[in-house]
Structure 1
Amino acid sequence: MHTPKLILQSKDQTWPLHIRDPKGRRQAELQEPQRVQIPGSGPAFHPRPLLSHFIVLKMSFLKDLGVKTESEDLRRDEPQCCSEVNQPHTGEVSDSNQQVWVLQGQTIVTVPRSNSVTPVTVTVVPCKYPESLEQGRGVPIYLGIENPEMCLSCEDIEGQPTLQLKEEKILHLYNEVEPVDPFLFYRLEIHSTSTFESVAFPGWFIASSDRGHPIFLTSHQGENNVNFNLSINA
């Protein structure tokens, strides 16, 4: 008769410990041991450390037999850190009105797409440490342009979150030991478009308006266009 393999919680799980079958059905529950006071022996003795060592040995034995642990399943389902980035992704950006980003001086403006218009090549690199940022807002990315090499940044200027284009190498930002919040944006994909929310100023998004106007930051999504098409080159 086939005996189903059981899945046990690891030692770092909270009490009670659950024993489950491979389909996730709970088979048994272990309660946390209570402190035991031995007369004349000093402080109360708590068997939990010994039990933890037993669990570690037991888990090692079970792994040798090919039995999975619940914590292994959780770790497998967690998003894994992205692989090392050596070159940024490149592409172009347009808004819902078919206006593309172009560079005028040191400013990105939007103009209608046409054969006579050359969109600026944007550069995109994911944040190396997304787990240290707020979850559920989108994928944190650094966003810049290829030539000249510059990056978009959000700063407080006279009390107003302001979008700026700065001379900064996007891979230098990527390789910093921690996220560089002013240069980071949460990219949230909605159908075929994306929004770019400032990490430094939550609730503020990159937006576009009329032809020839610079892109800017806004906290009023309903009043400004904040939906963009980011086309990444293959």
Structure 2
Amino acid sequence: MHTPKPILQSKDQAWPLHIRDPKGRRQAELQEPQRVGIPGSGPAFHPRPLLSHFIVLKMSFLKDFGVKTESEDLGRDEPQCCSEVSQPHTGEVSDLNQQVWVLQGQTIVTVPRSNSVIPVTVTVVPCKYPESLEQGRGVPIYLGIENPEMCLSCEDIEGQPTLQLKEEKILRLYNEVEPVDPFLFYRLEIYSTSTFESVAFPGWFIASSDKGHPIFLTSHQGENNVNFNLSINA
């Protein structure tokens, strides 16, 4: 598509210049470029203001005439943290010893994967307000199970951060007006595995141990298995 060229005011006119489209409508105002001193020479125009004005004007004209820009394409490809979630993602979790999460009563325990074992279906929903939490620790998520509908929570019990499974709807947590810290975990992906760090208790991670033992919180990463494979259903 041919993009019409912007029309500038006459060159003898004073700054600022007005940028107009072919129909004479004013599109933008161009300020006088900054002058910088260069040793051994006279003043020179600074290129950055001119470049930034050109980019903004180019984007404006392309959009006005229906031309899709590269940045718009990139924006569509990137996950939108603020897009609404109507259903949680589902999947399963296993540790590095090929033990999967299963439900026993009101507790999640780990057992070796086999044809006779049915892993519990986990549910995952991102936090609606990640910008209000500490940055750089991972993606904050709510983590629960599908049937029965319950969510993992971190509570202080007798001075000890403790992992619990509570009857709670994961989408209700997601739709709260602010993050519900006890139910949130920073998911940090390390190669093909993930760690789940408590938001309420930084430095404490979900961990697994021997066969048939419940998952728990630990602050000793080197002594316990805190790396898990989280497989999300397509």
After superposing the two structures, state which structure 1 stretch, 21-30 or 137-146, moved more: 21-30
- CA distances 1:63-121 after superposition (whole Å, capped 9, x unpaired): 98999999999999998433111110000000000000000000000000001100000
| Cα distance change on mapping 1:6 and 1:155 into 2, 3 Å | farther
Which secondary structure state, in structure 2, belongs to the residue aligned with residue 118 of structure 1?
coil
- Decide whether the 8 Å contact of 2:92 with 2:232 is kept in 1: yes
- CA distances 1:139-160 after superposition (whole Å, capped 9, x unpaired): 0000000000000000000100
The alignment's TM-score, normalised by the length of structure 1, stands at: 0.69
The alignment's TM-score, normalised by the length of structure 2, stands at: 0.69
- Decide whether the 8 Å contact of 1:35 with 1:47 is kept in 2: no
Rg bigger for which structure?
2
- Decide whether the 8 Å contact of 1:10 with 1:59 is kept in 2: no
Residues matched between the structures, number: 234
- CA distances 1:177-200 after superposition (whole Å, capped 9, x unpaired): 000000000000000000000000
Give unpaired runs (5+ residues) of structure 2: none
| Cα distance change on mapping 1:186 and 1:25 into 2, 3 Å | farther
- Decide whether the 8 Å contact of 1:125 with 1:141 is kept in 2: yes
| Cα distance change on mapping 1:50 and 1:99 into 2, 3 Å | closer
| Cα distance change on mapping 1:25 and 1:172 into 2, 3 Å | same
CA distance in 2, matches of 1:188, 1:24: 53
- Decide whether the 8 Å contact of 2:34 with 2:49 is kept in 1: no
- Decide whether the 8 Å contact of 1:92 with 1:122 is kept in 2: yes
After superposing the two structures, state which structure 1 stretch, 126-135 or 37-46, moved more: 37-46
| Cα distance change on mapping 1:145 and 1:7 into 2, 3 Å | farther
Give unpaired runs (5+ residues) of structure 1: none
Per-residue deviation at 1:8? 18
- Decide whether the 8 Å contact of 2:185 with 2:197 is kept in 1: yes
Tell me the equivalent position of 2:76: 76
| Cα distance change on mapping 1:162 and 1:36 into 2, 3 Å | same
After superposing the two structures, state which structure 1 stretch, 26-35 or 162-171, moved more: 26-35
Q: Aligned ranges for residues 25-40 of structure 1 at < 5 Å?
A: none
| Cα distance change on mapping 1:182 and 1:67 into 2, 3 Å | same
| Cα distance change on mapping 1:58 and 1:177 into 2, 3 Å | same
| Cα distance change on mapping 1:156 and 1:68 into 2, 3 Å | same
| Cα distance change on mapping 1:215 and 1:18 into 2, 3 Å | farther
CA distance in 1, matches of 2:196, 2:9: 39
| Cα distance change on mapping 1:76 and 1:120 into 2, 3 Å | closer
After superposing the two structures, state which structure 1 stretch, 18-27 or 88-97, moved more: 18-27
- Provide runs of 4+ in structure 1 moved above 6 Å: 1-79
CA distance in 2, matches of 1:122, 1:13: 67
| Cα distance change on mapping 1:143 and 1:24 into 2, 3 Å | farther
Per-residue deviation at 1:12? 31
Which secondary structure state, in structure 2, belongs to the residue aligned with residue 155 of structure 1?
strand
State the superposition RMSD in angstroms.
9.4
| Cα distance change on mapping 1:26 and 1:201 into 2, 3 Å | farther
CA distance in 1, matches of 2:98, 2:7: 53
CA distance in 2, matches of 1:180, 1:132: 11
- Decide whether the 8 Å contact of 2:3 with 2:61 is kept in 1: no
